[in-house]
Amino acid sequence: VNAPRGGVGGGNDFQWCFSQVKGAIDEDVAEADIISTVEFNCSGELLATGDKGGRVVIFQREQESKNRLLSRGEYNVYSTFQSHEPEFDYLKSLEIEEKINKIRWLPQQNAAHFLLSANDKTIKLWKISERDKRAEGYNLKDEDGRLRDQFRITTLRVPVLMPMDLMVEASPRRIFANAHTYHINSISVNSDYETYLSADDLRINLWHLEITDRSFNIVDIKPANMEELTEVITAAECHPHQCNVFVYSSSKGTIRLCDTRAAALCDRHSKFFEEPEDPSSRSFFSEIISSISDVKFSHSGRYMMTRDYLSVKVWDLNMENRPVETYQVHEYLRSKLCSLYENDCIFDKFECCWNGSDSAIMTGSYNNFFRMFDRNTRRDITLEASRENSKPRAMLKPRKVCTGGKRKKDEISVDSLDFNKKILHTAWHPKENVIAVAATNNLYIFQDKIN
Amino acid sequence: MQDAVVSPEKTEEAKLKARYPHLGTKPGGSDLLRKRLQKGQKYFDSGDYNMAKAKMKNKQLPTAAAEKTEITGDHIPTPQDLPQRKQSLVASKLAV
């Protein structure tokens, strides 16, 4: 069987190529270096990563130069800062990890860039701004900053702005703390550009970006008796256009769509999305693998996509009783669930993302494989993030997992997959075919081949 | 038709139950969820701690395990025993 010539996400001659890889080649990966979130900003000019050590690194795309016609601009380091620090809550005897769970960019409204970063308990609004001029010729202090002797000043001068080497500064503008008893899994900026939501295992809060000492609780699923706990919130997102609509997913594989115009506390959903399950096929693993690890609205706002352990599903917001599309990510793992439960891999939380035109979706898998599905052609492809195939503009070869019987050349058998190499976080440029894939402590950037 | 063929999922379930016969009857239920909610929780009971401090004048308490990994069980942890969380001052290797 020949691999399809056309790649996924574009026209017929589409091929994904290696562009860049960031990070160390160490054999021993330090825990702090593990990338925990990846996000392009609204224009795609900036790409942010967060890691388990609480650090944020922002890359900026260089302007396309005339010399390099065959490739798009590369992403270079623009700014890096320590967003969150480890904390210990002595009152509750709770260790608070500095790991960045999510980064979300605000739409750009002036020269500065703003992003929200969240660890388990606290959300911070960061301002990233450039400084490329400084004033010289002050009257009261000299160039070193030392105060001039006032009696020696005989004339007044007007300070002039002189160019200086570009400096990119990151400063925390707001700290939204003390609103989550449980661990924050999602943040989402609302389309009104004034508010955002944050979700933990049992509650969702609505914040105003300017106000840090108050937030509104809009969803609370904590039972009166914790013994009766049956499900938790796993992800939440604001609708891209309707500022009164948001969705949240659960560990039972359901999605609830809520309308903040209906009530102050959105415990009662407006819509409830669940795929019916065949009761005879139910097993010990059913609920665990149905747990939704990510939910993302399409850019159009008509659809949403959910990721559970083995598949990605696309839902039409107008149809609650089943998804309109289901894509198998790694169905061959269904016969490995026992060992995946024992090594905890069954609890891995994979994310998913849409391309800019909503025609393709992408999600990660094991062995540093990631998968892309073209919704129009129904073609899918498996690619690998590996330094072995990291020459500039090298084309990525499709990968295939052999599920049994004869293993063909270039195929890999299920038992040879490295389950420590997980691709949990991926991001697609909002407008172009450029993708960022986080492979443990390395960040890969791939782009389409320009014909 | 799946009547004669046992689904791969059910085969895996049988394997798991064979290895862990006492596995809870409520799959993916409260136990798993509560474990998830308690992530990061260190065993530290301030009542016990204060009583232990008072008793320490008379007798020695079991000392902390040399490894200091998991602080649970009979051992009464003290703030000194808790692993020190160092603040990260090293820059990310992505920013090189």
Q: State the pLDDT at residue B60.
A: 46
Per-chain mean pLDDT for chain A: 92
Query: Is the Cβ–Cβ distance between A117 and A54 less than 8 Å?
Result: no
So what's the pLDDT on residue A11? Answer: 44
Q: How far is A252 from chain B (nearest CA, A)?
A: 9
CB contact under 8 A, B33 and A82: no
Helix (H, G, I), strand (E, B) or coil at A56: strand
Contact A338 B15 (CB under 8 A): yes
**Does the pLDDT value for residue A266 go beyond 80?**
yes
Of B11, B40, B44, which has the smallest distance from its Cβ to A96's Cβ? Answer: B40
Strand ranges (DSSP E) for A195-232?
195-199, 203-208, 211-220
pLDDT in tens, A10-36: 444 568 999 999 999 977 899 999 999
Closest-approach residue (CA) in chain B for A232: B33
Q: What is the pLDDT of residues A297-321, one digit of tens each?
A: 999 999 999 999 999 999 999 999 9
pLDDT of residue B3: 47
Question: How many Cβ pairs closer than 8 A exist between chain A and B?
Answer: 136
Q: Would you say residue A355 has pLDDT above 70?
A: yes
Between B36, B40, B93, which is nearest A33 by CB? B93
CA distance A24 to A31: 13
Query: Considering only CA atoms, which of A10, A7, A2, A86 is closest in space to residue A52?
Result: A86
Task: Say whether A285 and B13 touch across the interface (CB within 8 A).
Answer: yes
- Which of these ranges, A221-230, A305-314, B19-28, has the smallest mean pLDDT? B19-28
Put simply, the answer to whether B12 touches A338 (Cβ < 8 Å) is yes
Amino acid B63: pLDDT: 47
Residues in chain A: 451
3-state secondary structure A146-200: CECCHHHCCCCCCCEEEEEEEEEEEEEEEEECCCCCCCCCEEEECCCCCEEEEEC
Task: Tell me if chain A has a CB within 8 Å of the CB of B44.
Answer: yes
Question: Which residues from chain A sit within 8 angstroms of residue B93, using beta carbons?
Answer: 23-24, 33, 441
Residue where the block lists tokens 């202090």: A141
Using the Cβ of B69 and the Cβ atoms of chain A, whether some distance falls under 8 Å is answered with no
Q: What is the pLDDT of residues A331-345, one digit of tens each?
A: 999 999 999 999 999
B4 touches chain A (CB under 8 A): no
Q: Which residues of A touch B34 (CB under 8 A)?
A: 226, 229
Quote the CA–CA distance of A376 and A314 in Å, as a whole number: 13
Instruction: Select the more confidently predicted residue: A297 or B73.
Output: A297
Q: What is the pLDDT of residue A153?
A: 86
B65 CB-side CA count, 13 A: 10
Which pLDDT value is given to residue A190? 98
**Does position A7 have pLDDT exceeding 60, yes or no?**
no
| Closest residue to B37, CB basis, from A35, A201, A336 | A201
Q: What is the maximum alpha-carbon separation in chain A? A: 94
Q: DSSP letters of B12-78?
A: HHHHHHHH-TT--SSTTSHHHHHHHHTTTB----HHHHHHHHHHTTTSPPPPPPSS-----TT----
Position A150 scores a pLDDT of 83
**Chain B residues within an 8 Å CB radius of A78:** none
Question: Counting runs of H as helices and runs of E as strands, what totals does chain A give?
Answer: 2, 32
pLDDT at A45 over 50: yes
Burial per residue of A110-146, b for 16 or more beta-carbon CB atoms within 10 angstroms, e otherwise: eeebbbbbbbbbbbbbbebeeeeeeeeeeeeeeeeee
B80 touches A at CB < 8 Å: no
Of A106, A165, A157, give the one whose Cα is nearest residue A133: A165
Minimal-distance CA residue of chain A relative to B14? A338
The predicted model gives A205-233 an average pLDDT of 95
B21 in reach of chain A (CB within 8 A): no
Nearest neighbour of A57 by CB, restricted to B36, B88, B94 = B94
Asked whether A209 and A203 are in contact (CB, 8 A), the reply is no
pLDDT tens digits along B25-59: 655 456 788 888 888 776 556 665 566 566 655 55
For CA atoms A44, A45, A51, A55, the dihedral sign is: negative
In order, the DSSP letters of A330-354 are: -GGGGGGHHHHHHTTGGG----EEE
B28 vs A291: CB contact, 8 Å cut-off?
yes
* CA distance linking residue B53 with residue B76, whole number of Å: 10
Closest CA–CA distance from residue A302 to any residue of chain B (Å): 32
More confidently predicted of B79 and A352: A352
Cα dihedral sign, A176-A177-A179-A185: positive
Predicted pLDDT of residue A18: 95
Q: What is the percent of chain A where pLDDT is above 70?
A: 95
Using the predicted structure, report yes or no on whether residue A237 has a pLDDT greater than 80. yes
Would you call B42 an interface residue with chain A, using a CB distance cutoff of 8 Å?
A: yes
Per-residue pLDDT, averaged over A34-58, amounts to 98
The confidence band for B61, taking pLDDT boundaries of 50, 70 and 90, is very low
The arrangement of strands across the sheet holding A311-316 comes to A294-297, A303-307, A311-316, A325-328
Average pLDDT, integer, range A365-386: 96
Q: Say whether B85 sits in a helix, a strand or coil.
A: coil
CA A387 to chain centroid = 22
- Closest CA–CA distance from residue A65 to any residue of chain B (Å): 22
Q: Does B72 touch chain A (CB under 8 A)?
A: no
Please give the angle made by the CA atoms of A63, A64 and A66, to the nearest 5 degrees.
125
Residue A328: CB atoms within 10 A of its CB come to: 14
Q: Compute the residue count for chain B.
A: 96
Tell me, what's the pLDDT at A4? Answer: 41
Question: Which of A128, A130, A121, A124 shows the shortest CA–CA distance to A57?
Answer: A128
pLDDT band for position B66 (cuts 50, 70, 90):
very low
Tell me: pLDDT of A108 over 90.
Answer: yes
Question: DSSP state, A96?
Answer: E
Distance CA A238, CA A236 (A): 7
> Would the pLDDT of A327 be above 70?
yes
Quote the distance between the C-alpha of residue A35 and its chain's center: 10
pLDDT of residue A389: 82
